[in-house]
Amino acid sequence: MSVKIYIDGQEGTTGLKILERFEGRNDIEIIKISEEKRKDPTERARLINMSDYTFLCLPDAASREAVSFVDNDHVRIIDASTAHRTNPDWAYGFPELSPEHREKIRTSNRVAVPGCYASGFNSIVYPLVKNGIIPDDFPVFAYATSGYSGAGKKAIAVYEGEDKPYEYGSPRQYAMSQQHKHLPEMQAIPGLKYTPMFNPMVCDYFSGMVVSVPIQTRMLENKVTAEEVHEMFAKHYEGSNMIEVMPLMSEEEQKSFFLASNTLSGINKMQIFVFGNDEQILLCSRLDNLGKGASGAAVQCLNIMMGIDETTGLV
């Protein structure tokens, strides 16, 4: 028996990618809205309440509005906006973080899909805090490189247009005011006392990202080695279908290694790397901002909520 799925915001980048991941599945029925009624609140409310599961691929205000439309207790919402990611009444849609996260996703009617940068950041920092490698008041800094697909339709059009500005050919740093929209969940989910510093860069390629967190071990009360940190990550993500902790390289191997940000483009997986040495450890998380960082994560949550193999339609 198939379940009914409605995507509110199905013409956006995330909505379209979710639809792609449903191709060939016979266990779901997609409810589609007509183009002329795509922004009609009455029609959207009707389709939401017809569904078993609704994906919200909308700006924050529109997402909150859509949740208010629900008058059917059986409708389960998967929200890809930032509106509900730090709401304790919502499940945070990153099942690999802990068994508790996975169980809450399975049983909840309200799941907030993590942000793409936050997925990479939390994949690193949550285990560090959870396993006592860093304290919750540690001064965490992160930087990241991302493809332009996460910047929205207008930015995509500029990057792919004939009149692309010269500067768009270079990595461009942004969110300089330290008020990036993902920062609240980057602080709340690992349980950090202070907001981390974050330096994101959008680059001239379509999709894929690397989020990096450097650790100066002299700042730790209990100093750890790079090998011990690697062992911690390997144990934390042991048995994961979507997250792979990559082998620890020797310092000699690292000298000739380049970490590309677009390697996992189109793939619903994440890779964790431990680089550096025992004094300076560099932790990196590589993923597709449209995959494990958005639509792939949303579909993975749906599969868990349905009680089926979480990799269905993804691997």
Q: pLDDT tens across 26-52, in order? A: 999 999 999 899 889 999 999 999 999
pTM of the model: 0.96
pLDDT number for residue 125: 98
Q: What is the mean pLDDT of residues 105-115?
A: 97
pLDDT number for residue 315: 78
pLDDT band at 265 (very low <50, low <70, confident <90, very high): very high
Token digits of residue 248 = 């620890």
DSSP bridge partners of 281: 215, 276
Q: pLDDT tens across 222-264, in order? A: 999 999 999 999 999 999 999 999 999 999 999 999 999 999 9
Per-residue pLDDT at 74 exceeds 90: yes
Q: pLDDT tens across 164-191, in order? A: 999 999 999 999 999 999 999 999 999 9
Sort 204 into a burial class: Cβ within 10 Å, 0-12 / 13-18 / 19+: middle
Q: Is 301 a catalytic residue?
A: no
pLDDT number for residue 254: 96
**Rounded to whole angstroms, how far apart are CA atoms 17 and 65?**
23
Per-residue pLDDT at 1 exceeds 90: no
Catalytic residue among 116, 203, 284, 301: 116
CA dihedral over 176, 178, 179, 184, signed as positive or negative: positive
pLDDT number for residue 11: 82
Q: Where are the beta strands (DSSP E) in the chain?
A: 3-8, 28-31, 53-56, 76-79, 91-92, 110-112, 141-147, 172-173, 197-203, 209-216, 243-245, 270-276, 280-287
**Rounded to whole angstroms, how far apart are CA atoms 178 and 17?**
29
> Mean pLDDT, the chain, as a whole number?
96
Per-residue pLDDT at 150 exceeds 90: no
Per-residue pLDDT at 152 exceeds 90: no
pLDDT number for residue 308: 97
DSSP bridge partners of 92: 112
**Rounded to whole angstroms, how far apart are CA atoms 286 and 313?**
21
The DSSP annotation for 133-199 comes to: SS-TT---EEEEEEEGGGG-HHHHHHHHSTT--GGGGS-EE--TTS--TTHHHHHHTTT-SSPPEEE
pLDDT number for residue 183: 97
